[in-house]
Amino acid sequence: MVVVRGDRVQTEEIFGTDFLKKVSGFSEIIGYTVESDGTDIKIEFNPDRPDLFSFTTLDSAIRTFFLESEIPKQESVVGDVSFYITEEALRLRPFVTSFVCRGGKIGARQRDMIDFQERIHQTIGKDRYKVSIGIHDLERLKPPFRYISKPRDKVSFIPYDGNREMTAEEILSLHEKGRQYSNLLTSDNVPIIEDSLNQVLSMPPIVNGIASRVSESTCNFFIDITGTDMKSAYGASLLLRHFFRSAGYIVEETRQTGGIPYSEILANDNRVIKVRISETKKILGQGSLKLDDIGISLRRMGYSLPPEFDAISIPVNVPGSRLDVMGEVDIIEDIGKALGYGSVPEFRPNLDLVGSLRDDTRIKDRIREVSVGLGFQEAMTFVVTASKFSAGLGRGSGAEIMNPKSQDFNVIRDRLRLNILDLLRINKRRNLPQRIFEIGDVVIDFSQKTHLCYAITDSRAGFSSIKQYLNALLQRFGKVEPIFIPEAGAEFIPGRSGKIVINGKDFGIIGEIHPETLQKFDLANPVALFEIDIDALK
C-alpha cells in the first residue's frame, strides 16, 4: 500500500473545508481507505494508481469526477531554457529528460510536491534505481544547464540540507542520502547537472545542491529526470507534468540536446484506445446501458473524448498520467466505477457445465484417505527450500533460484525426502514411532512432477517395515507387488535400499537412511522411507 499523509488544517486551507468529505466520498468510487484523527489525514492507496499519490492530483481527480472543473491539459510549448547532455554522463544514467514549470508561488503545496516526488521514487522508480527526479528553483539558477560526468574527487558542492561544501566522495560516504543510495553509483565518475555559472543543481540519483533548493516562495521550476529504464522515465515525467498542471502551472519543454526528446514523452500522453460499446455492456452486465451514460462516465474518470462518436466504439484519449491503463478492459473497469457497481443488476449465469474434481485431485484425495488409514499423518513442506539439505547428497536436477532473498529458500526441490528428514529433526522430541507422509511437487530435469513420500522413524525402523506399507498402499490401488532393484542413493545405506519397479517401470526409491545422513539432520533414531511418483498409482 502507498500512504499519503498530511496535516488536516493545512490541507483544508489549500483544498477547502469540505475536502475530507469529498475524499471520503471518492474513496467509495475508486477504492482506497481514508482515516482522520482530527489532526492528520491519512489515505492508503493500492500501488496501481500513482496519479493519485498526492493531495493535489487527488483533488484534481475529485473535481473532474464531480464535473467541477475540466481535465487539466495544455498544448506543448517550447521555452527558452536549454539543457545539454553529454555522452559520458549518459553512460552512467542513460535516460534523461527535463521540462520547466511556470506559475505562482508553490506555497503550502511544497510539502505535497516533495512527498509526491518521493512516492514516485519508491514506486515506479524502484527506490531511485530505475528513475530519480530533481526539482529545482529556476530563478536561483542561470541556464543553460549541462548533464556531465566528472571524477568523484573533482566534484564538490553544498547539499540542499548542508552547511559546508563536500566532495562527491564525502557525500557518498557521509551524507544520509549518499550512504542510502551510494550503491547506485559504482563508477569512478559521477553524473552531475550544473548551470552556466558552474553551480551544481544535483548529483543524480543521490542529492540536490543548495544552489537550486526550492522553498514555498518558488514560482518557476526546472525538473530533471534521470534513470536506467526508459519506461519509468516516461512515467515519472508524465506524472510530474500532471501534478504541476493540476496545481495551475504552465509546462514548458526545454531545448534539450541528447537524452529523451520531449516528443517521445508526449507520444505517451493522450494515446487512443478504442472502447467497444458491445464489450462494455457485456463485461458490465448492462445490456440497456445508454451511450450518453458511457460518455459521461468516461469524462468523469478523466478521459477525453471526441465531440461525437458512434454506437459501435469510442476512441478514448488516455492521459499519460494513467500508467495503470493498459487496454480496453481497464477503461471499462473505470466506466463501471463511475456508474457504481451497485447499479449492476444481479443475475444467475447460465453455464453449460457442471464443476467436478480434476483426476489428479481425486487420486491425491484417495492417497490421503488410504495413508491416514494406515496410521500416517500428513505433512506439507515448502516446494522452495534450502540447498543446505542436499549438500553432500547430490543436488540432482532441481532448479536453482538466482539472487534468492534467503539461503533458506534458494532451490526448488527435486525430492521430498530431504524436507521430510528436516521435519523429523524439528519433531525429534516427539514420542516414537512417528509415521508421516507428504504429497508434493518436485522439479526433475526442469519438469514438474508430483511425488509421494512415506517415512517412519523408530528404534526398529527398517527396510521390511517401510516395504510393508508400500505393499499395502499399492494393494489398495489395485497395483502389483513391486520389484526392488538394489541401488544406493546418496542418503541410503547400501544393501538396504533400492529402486522401486512396477510393471517394468522405475517409479521411485526405498530404503533405510544412512547414519551419516541421520547425523547431518541431527537424528538419533533410524529412519526408513520410500518416495514414488504418484503416476505409479494411476
Domain boundaries, the chain: 2-65, 77-266, 271-343, 359-537
pLDDT score recorded for residue 95: 95
pLDDT score recorded for residue 272: 93
Give me the numbers of helices (H) and strands (E) for the chain, helices first please: 16, 25
Q: How far is the C-alpha of 283 from the C-alpha of 80, rounded, in Å?
A: 49
Q: How far is the C-alpha of 251 from the C-alpha of 46, rounded, in Å?
A: 28
Distance of CA 50 to the CA centre of its chain: 13
CB 507 within 8 A of CB 501: yes
Q: How far is the C-alpha of 135 from the C-alpha of 117, rounded, in Å?
A: 9
> Which CATH number is correct for 271-343, 3.30.1490.20, 3.30.56.10, 3.20.20.70, 3.40.47.10?
3.30.56.10
Domain 2-65 shares a fold with domain 271-343: yes
ω before 345 within 30° of 0 (cis)?
no
Residue where the block lists cell 573533482: 154
Q: pLDDT 10s per residue in the chain (538 long)? A: 889 999 999 999 999 999 999 999 999 899 899 998 888 999 999 888 999 999 999 999 999 998 887 776 677 899 999 999 999 999 999 999 999 999 999 999 999 999 999 999 999 999 999 999 999 999 999 999 999 999 998 999 999 988 899 999 999 999 999 999 999 998 999 999 999 999 999 999 999 999 999 999 999 999 999 999 999 999 999 999 999 999 999 999 999 999 999 999 998 888 999 999 999 998 888 878 888 899 999 999 999 988 888 889 999 999 999 999 999 999 999 999 999 887 777 777 777 777 788 888 999 999 999 999 999 999 999 888 887 777 767 655 557 777 777 777 888 888 898 899 999 999 988 899 999 999 999 888 778 899 999 999 998 899 999 999 999 999 988 888 888 888 877 888 998 999 998 888 888 999 999 999 899 889 999 999 999 998 888 8
Look at the domain 359-537 and name its fold.
BirA Bifunctional Protein; domain 2 (3.30.930)
Which residue, among 277, 273, 478, 197, has the nearest Cα to 209 in the 3D structure? 197
Handedness of CA 283, 287, 293, 295 (dihedral sign): positive
CB 207 within 8 A of CB 178: yes
Please tell me the class of the 77-266 domain: alpha beta
DSSP H or E stretch at residue 456: strand 447-457
Handedness of CA 470, 472, 477, 479 (dihedral sign): positive
pLDDT score recorded for residue 410: 82
CB 239 within 8 A of CB 50: yes
Residues 6+ apart with CB under 8 A from 256: 82, 83, 85, 96, 97, 98, 262
Provide the CB-side half-sphere exposure for 305 (13 A, CA). Answer: 20
Q: How far is the C-alpha of 461 from the C-alpha of 424, rounded, in Å?
A: 14
Q: Which residues of 413-447 are buried (b: 16+ CB within 10 A; e: fewer)?
A: bbbbbbbbbbbbeeeeeeeeebbbbbbbebbbeee
Pairing mode, if any, of strands 377-378 and 434-444? parallel
pLDDT score recorded for residue 394: 66
Other beta carbons within 10 Å of 51: 24
Cα angle at 467 between 466 and 468, to 5 degrees?
A: 90
Take residue 33 and report the three cell numbers written for it.
481507505
Which of left, alpha, beta for 173 (phi over 0: left; psi -120 to 50: alpha)? alpha
Q: How far is the C-alpha of 100 from the C-alpha of 134, rounded, in Å?
A: 12
Q: How far is the C-alpha of 510 from the C-alpha of 499, rounded, in Å?
A: 6
Take residue 108 and report the three cell numbers written for it.
503550502
Q: How far is the C-alpha of 76 from the C-alpha of 70, rounded, in Å?
A: 18
pTM above 0.75, yes or no: no
> Which CATH number is correct for 2-65, 3.30.70.20, 1.20.210.10, 3.30.56.10, 3.40.50.150?
3.30.56.10
DSSP H or E stretch at residue 497: strand 492-502
CB 534 within 8 A of CB 364: yes
